[in-house]
């Protein structure tokens, strides 16, 4: 048997002081900022870097929610909560639109069901930490 090749990814639900959720709009529509963990990079470092790259916001990680395993793609997505500590909302090449939204606004902006389910899972504290297979 050969050694499997898995990919690690991160997604971060950044909550501002008013409990609004940071979303970025990319090619898949609105979602949490996130992306792949680079070679030689820690999962936490990747989470902080991805938020900065996609939104212009520097964050502090405050909570680990759980893992979404995308079985068909051999990818594990580590989900965190973060809070903004500095920076200014700034669109990027990956995310031409960024913003903070109430929970209801976020649920209307997010069009992919997998990302709607993700936000609900992250807000459901009694199920933390979770390991979810999708």
pLDDT in tens, 9-65: 999 999 999 999 999 999 999 999 999 999 999 999 999 999 999 999 999 999 999
Determine, yes or no, domain membership for 121.
yes
Considering the domain boundaries, does residue 64 fall inside one?
A: yes
pTM, rounded to two decimals: 0.94
Give CA separation, 57 vs 10, 115, 130, 133, in Å: 16, 21, 26, 30
> Which tokens in the block code for residue 55?
């939104």
Q: Classify 49 as helix, strand or coil.
A: helix
Structural domain contains residue 2: no
Average pLDDT of the chain, as a whole number: 95
Could you tell me the sign of the dihedral formed by the alpha carbons of 7, 67, 133, 106, in that order?
negative
Q: Is residue 45 part of a domain?
A: yes
Domain encompassing residue 20 = 7-133
Question: What's 111's domain CATH number?
Answer: 3.90.79.10
Residue reference for tokens 């963990």 = 37
Total domains in the fold of the chain:
1
Q: Is 109 domain-assigned?
A: yes
């Amino acid at each position: 048997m050969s050694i499997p090749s898995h990919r690690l990814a991160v997604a971060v639900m950044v909550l501002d002081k008013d409990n609004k959720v940071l979303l970025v709009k990319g090619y898949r529509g609105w979602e949490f900022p996130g992306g792949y963990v680079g070679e030689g990079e820690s999962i936490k470092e990747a989470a902080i870097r991805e938020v900065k790259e996609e939104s212009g916001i520097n964050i502090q990680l405050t909570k680990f929610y759980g893992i979404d395993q995308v079985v068909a793609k051999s990818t594990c997505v580590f989900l965190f909560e973060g809070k903004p500590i500095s920076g200014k909302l700034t669109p990027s090449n990956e995310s031409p639109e960024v913003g903070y939204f109430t929970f209801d606004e976020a649920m209307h902006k997010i069009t992919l069901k997998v990302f709607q389910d993700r936000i609900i899972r992250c807000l459901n504290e009694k199920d933390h930490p979770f390991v979810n297979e999708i």
